[in-house]
Amino acid sequence: MNRRTESSNKIEASEATTAGRHALVLGGSLAGLLAARVLCDHFDRVTVVERDPFPATASPRRGVPQANHVHALMPRGRLILEQLFPGLQKEMMAAGAPLVGMGKDVAWLTPQGWGVRFRSNLEVLSFTRPLLDLHVRRRLITDCRVHVMENTEIIRLLPGRQNGKVAGAVVRTGGENSDRVVEMQLRADLVVDATGRASRAPRWLEELGYPAPEETIINAHLGYASRLYRIPEGFSADWKCIFVQAAPPERKRGAILFTVEGDRWLVTMIGGGRDYPPTDNDAFLEFARSLPSPIIYDAIRQAEPLSPIKGHRGTENRLRHFERAGRQPENFIAIGDSVCAFNPVYGQGMTIAAMGANALHECLCEEKGVLENFARRFQKRLTKVTAAPWMLATSEDYRYRETEGGSASVATRIMHHYMDHVVKLSTFDASVRQVLLEVFGMLVQPSALFRPNIVLRVLGHTLGFVRPPKSVAKKTSSGMLVYHSAAND
Ligand SMILES: Cc1cc2nc3c(=O)[nH]c(=O)nc-3n(C[C@H](O)[C@H](O)[C@H](O)COP(=O)(O)OP(=O)(O)OC[C@H]3O[C@@H](n4cnc5c(N)ncnc54)[C@H](O)[C@@H]3O)c2cc1C
């Protein structure tokens, strides 16, 4: 391969001469694409730089290895995506992604029993992650202000002439397999880092003399292993998705089955506390069989596998405190997993990327075109978006004995106890389950779980006054005993 080295490379073309305000987005996964969509409303030109070539079909790519695994887009994220790209949901459904009622269509084994099944207004789309990315990308590039540079790696930030700003970034085009690698400077008024949890932004900032943001890492050592299956002909069940939740510290295993586009199931085995799920066929099935319910094992043991089993272990909660950095370039911000990456089992990352794009829009609406102190203002606002999901993910992760990076405080233990009652109630009380799903779906703040009606029910349950109404318990076609809400059934 005839690659020219960095040092022998002439730094070529520059975007500096092109007129108008220019925003540069580093990373072309979901956070980058959604940020780019919002930036279009505020800048004359937006350039997205991505190291990978983008696939023409809905297939995974190297830079987003997590795309092989189940990706649940929470209702809040679905709403924001639909606002940013009206009609996206219909397009996804036309491509085969089923709409799933969170109350009715998800067989959900909580640590306290099966979640009550009821008809709710909460719906999610069930798809493979590459399908979502493909549709978002397609919609984004129809905007003539957006320029996408694939096969292009960000190397470093470009120092600004003005103190306290960056001038853009230096990138290397051509990709790994190209015989012509060229470095170039991309000049921009605003630079947005969306290069994910492995972002090199801290290093890039240090290279320019700025402090790297402090990091908090809380790791429950979770592993994923996933495989696609063809749904057997004639198969019928009273669910479209299954979630067998782990119940740490004792029960460290869980799994998710999603019915996705193309009449397929995407099945993900999950093991916490270093109980990583295996990636060979027999052991994968054995892992499924070892779960507290055989529901997923029974579904997949006769089904035809359509993919190899892919594993993934990069699942730590990682928070980079850009908002606390003493000195920082005013026009360099970070968004998405680059700032706050979660243990993925709570399904928050994509929705936070969408909420982060909203926060970016709000901040840009307030600024007067000079981006003065913009980074600090934006990162502080983003902190408000990530605070509750971070608390939820990390405090739940403290239930694993193996979790590193912190431990449960007394307040967290009391919260665990309270939540155990809420979850127990959600196995037979549809009104409690509705609120729990709204919190999970990020439509309301976790404080909703402390509304007086829920606190009273928890109290009643603790004291033994509130018990499951046995009369509405039913056996489903898959043989499990669940409570159906008589009111909503
Ligand atoms: C196993 C797993 C399962 C998950 N499940 C869910 C789920 O169910 N629901 C949910 O909402 N979220 C889930 N997530 C989180 C979700 O994947 C991310 O939050 C989401 O992809 C948004 O991330 P991002 O765009 O910030 O970064 P990423 O998706 O990591 O993308 C970073 C991008 O930057 C590019 N890049 C990196 N470095 C460079 C460079 N130097 N030059 C050029 N390009 C570069 C990469 O190629 C990539 O395209 C899961 C995550 C994992 C790990």
336 lines ligand 1 (CB under 6 A): yes
Which of helix, strand or coil describes residue 268? strand
Spatial distance between the Cα atoms of 315 and 389, rounded to a whole number of angstroms? 15
Task: Answer yes or no: is the C-beta of 389 below 6 A from any ligand 1 atom.
Answer: no
In sequence order, what are the beta bridge partners of 481? 475
Tell me the sheet residues that pair with 124. 100
Ligand 1 contacts CB of residue 273 (under 6 A): no
What is the pLDDT, as a whole number, of residue 474?
62
Q: How many CB atoms within 10 Å of residue 384?
A: 11
Nearest protein CA to atom 3 of ligand 1, as residue: 344
Instruction: Name the residue at shortest CA distance from atom 37 of ligand 1.
Output: 195
Identity (one letter) of the amino acid at 55? P
Helix ranges restricted to H, 156-265 = 201-207
Atom in ligand 1 nearest the alpha carbon of residue 312: 1
Report residue 355: phi and psi, to 5°.
-65, -35
pLDDT single digits (tens) 296-335: 999 999 999 999 999 999 999 999 999 998 899 999 999 9
Whether residue 68 has its Cβ less than 6 Å from ligand 1: no
- Tell whether ligand 1 has an atom less than 6 A from the beta carbon of residue 50: yes
Ligand 1 lined by 429 (C-beta under 6 Å)? no
Q: How far apart are CA 152 and CA 180, in angstroms?
A: 12
Nearest-atom index, ligand 1, CA of 52: 47
**Contacting residues for 378 by C-beta, under 8 A, at least 6 apart:** 333, 359, 360, 363
Q: Is 194 in the pocket of ligand 1 (CB under 6 A)?
A: yes
If you search the block for the tokens 């798809």, which residue do you land on? 127
Any ligand 1 atom below 6 A from CB of 441: no
Q: What is the distance between the alpha carbons of residues 159 and 95, in angstroms, rounded to a whole number?
A: 44
pLDDT at 285: 98
Q: Say if pTM beats, i.e. exceeds, 0.85.
A: yes
Question: Quick one: fold of 221-312?
Answer: Alpha-Beta Plaits (3.30.70)
Q: Is the CB of 312 under 6 A from ligand 1?
A: yes
The tokens 């934006």 sit on which residue? 378
What pLDDT was estimated at residue 475? 59
- 198 C-alpha to center of ligand 1: Å? 9
Within 10 A of 107 (CB to CB), how many other CB atoms are there?
23
CA 125 to ligand 1 centroid distance, Å: 19
Residue 66 token pair = 């997590």
Per-residue pLDDT of the chain (489 residues; tens, 9 = 90+): 233 333 333 334 444 445 689 999 999 999 999 999 999 999 999 999 999 999 999 999 999 999 999 999 999 999 999 999 999 999 999 999 999 999 999 999 999 999 999 999 999 999 999 999 999 999 999 987 999 999 999 999 999 987 799 999 999 998 666 677 899 999 999 999 999 999 999 999 999 999 999 999 999 999 999 999 999 999 999 999 999 999 999 999 999 999 999 999 999 999 999 999 999 999 999 999 999 999 999 999 999 999 999 999 999 999 999 999 889 999 999 999 999 999 999 999 999 999 999 999 999 999 877 888 999 999 999 999 999 999 999 999 999 999 999 999 999 999 999 999 999 999 999 999 999 999 999 999 999 999 999 999 999 999 888 777 765 556 555 555 566 564 444
Is the CB of 252 inside a 6 Å radius of any atom of ligand 1?
no
Question: Does 11-66+134-217+316-393 carry CATH code 3.30.200.20?
Answer: no
Instruction: Report how far apart, in Å, the C-alpha atoms of 425 and of each of 14, 108, 113, 155, 434 are.
Output: 61, 14, 10, 52, 11
- Indicate whether residue 192 lines ligand 1 (CB < 6 A): no
Domain boundaries, given as residue ranges, for the chain: 11-66+134-217+316-393, 221-312, 410-483
Tell which one of 47, 337, 348, 386 to mutate to probe ligand 1, the residue whose CB is within 8 A of the most ligand atoms.
Answer: 337
